[in-house]
Amino acid sequence: MDRAERAPRSEGLPELVTGLVGDITTLFRKEVELAKVEASEKVSQAVNGGELIVAGAILALGALGVLLAAIVTVLGAWFTAMGMDPLLANSLSALIVAVVVGLIAWALISSGLRRVRQTSLNMNRTVSSLSSDAAIVKERL
């Protein structure tokens, strides 16, 4: 090793500040890159979870259809056992089940629409906070 390599580097204040700014910039860029990677991973996990929810909902909808068909069949058999014509019994059973399920669906949809109409999408707190921040910046400038 020669003497220049062993001697401590003597840098002036401007070089040290420039180096510090460069290091902070690099650190900030790395942190932003890490945040992007982490956010991408989280979004990917959420999308995978969403796909499973949709698949489960589709299967649940199919199961509900089978259950309703079974209810129509049982109700039709009961009407037939009571002495009603089988064609009329099955038709009446399907009508009764359709009306009941339709009323439940209508009630759920109406309730959901009412809640959506009552929801305000204005971001009052955010606007207020930003206005306050802008006022503070204007005062200090």
Q: Kindly state the helix (H) or strand (E) to which residue 3 belongs, with its residue range.
A: helix 3-6
Residue 107 sits in which domain range?
11-140
Ordered DSSP codes for 43-97: HHHHHHHHHHHHHHHHHHHHHHHHHHHHHHHHHHHHHHHTT--HHHHHHHHHHHH
pLDDT in tens, 75-118: 999 999 999 999 999 999 999 999 999 999 999 999 999 988 88
Q: Which residue has the tokens 């906070």?
A: 129
Residue at 136 is within a domain? yes
pTM: 0.57
Residue at 134 is within a domain? yes
Residue at 32 is within a domain? yes
Residue at 4 is within a domain? no
- What total number of domains does the chain contain? 1
